[in-house]
Amino acid sequence: MQPDGTVGIVDFGSYLPENVVGPEFFRDPDAPVDPLAEIPLFKVPATRHHVARDERAADMIAKAARPVFERLGVDPAGRVDVLLTNVLLPDEAFMGVGAQAAHRLGISPEWIVDLHNAGCGSFMYMMALAQKIMAGGGARTALVANVQNTAGQVFAQSEVRRQPHAAVPGDGCGVAYLEAGGGSPILGVRTLNVPEHSFDLGLRTPDGRKYWEPGGGQMDIAFDPARQTEILERGNRLVPELVGKLCADLGVATDAVDVLVTNQPNRIFLKNWRGALGISEERHLDTFDRYGNLYGAAVPITLDRAAREGRLRDGDLVVMSGFAHAGDFASAAAVRWRGGAGDADGAGRAGGASSSAGSPADSPDSPGAA
């Protein structure tokens, strides 16, 4: 147990849809040959997962979370006081997915919050919100869930998938189970809102209609073309900036970070971020080539896989960070990994007890890269 007042991550969980898609799905036979396509830094991911048409975000959350409770050996009913979700493409226009996810899991949290901002920085942001809610003492446990589900629904459309950016995203769900006084303690969270950049990314339609209006052509997600250079600069700057400030809060140098996990828009950002922070490639974990750009779900999914593979060691300083959309938000969080984390057999659970391995099986101008 950690000292009273702290909140820790007990375990991670993840889910990836069954449909695995290769680069050939996106190739346009009429497009000119891209000279950058085979350069390692620009090469698209080897594989990514796409949601099925009838696959709902609530079901993805339940499939990611159930193995967590199975490893803990508990029924989730009565074990989740707070449920926080971030879903990139909500299934319903007027309501979030939290209540449906709770129903799928058989839980009735006192707090259900569907967060629709913070994008690729939302996992760390939801950790901070969970801390705030739990600080009052009325809640002791929280389930935090990120769903990326645009790859198989938006970027797989017949016309959109011909665009270079469509081959980069992949779908998946990552969750974390938090507990007051237990698990791997959250040492600190840093967030930054930059509202003036919130108009630089959005849904685009060929005829300019609003997304709910009838019309011709397929909806896509795109950056403001006049601000591409600015957006790239923001992306390169924000993650190292937030990680640096967080490390300063903790009184450690950035090279003291044992494990760094960020959002994963493309290989160029990953390379530039670790270069700016002085962190080796071995310590900057990612799942980009296996799963593509998972947006906000990248951090919990990557950490779940790292825990199952024994890549997190007891005592590691684990730092997570991401920037959202076109740079309107960024966040960073630090955790001191505790207990059983070095056991590749599945004892990666942060709370210290052993567990079974039950977890289911890079273009700089990519729209929605954050």
Q: How far apart are CA 280 and CA 270, in angstroms?
A: 11
Tokens of 203: 């849904």
- 342 part of a folded domain: no
Domain range spanning residue 73? 7-337
In this prediction, residue 288 carries a pLDDT of 97
Q: What is the pLDDT of residues 67-102, one digit of tens each?
A: 999 999 999 999 999 999 999 999 998 889 999 999
- 141 part of a folded domain: yes
Is the model's pLDDT at 35 over the cut of 90?
no
Tokens of 221: 């997600």
- 95 part of a folded domain: yes
pTM: 0.90
Supply the CATH number for residue 49's domain: 3.40.47.10
Q: What is each CA distance from 243 to 54, 127, 248, in whole angstroms?
A: 38, 16, 9
- 350 part of a folded domain: no
- 344 part of a folded domain: no
Closest Cα partner for 11 from 123, 104, 144?
144
DSSP 72-116: HT--STTS-SEEEEEESS-SSSSS-SHHHHHHHHT---SEEEE--
Neighbours of 154 (CB within 10 A): 21
Is the model's pLDDT at 10 over the cut of 70?
yes
- 61 part of a folded domain: yes
Identify the weakest region by mean pLDDT among 96-105, 120-129, 183-192, 357-366: 357-366
104 close to 62: Cβ distance less than 8 angstroms? yes
In this prediction, residue 138 carries a pLDDT of 85
Neighbours of 304 (CB within 10 A): 26
- 311 part of a folded domain: yes
- 355 part of a folded domain: no
User: Chain centroid to CA 263: how far?
Assistant: 6
Average pLDDT (40-52) is 89
Domain count, the chain: 1
In this prediction, residue 358 carries a pLDDT of 35
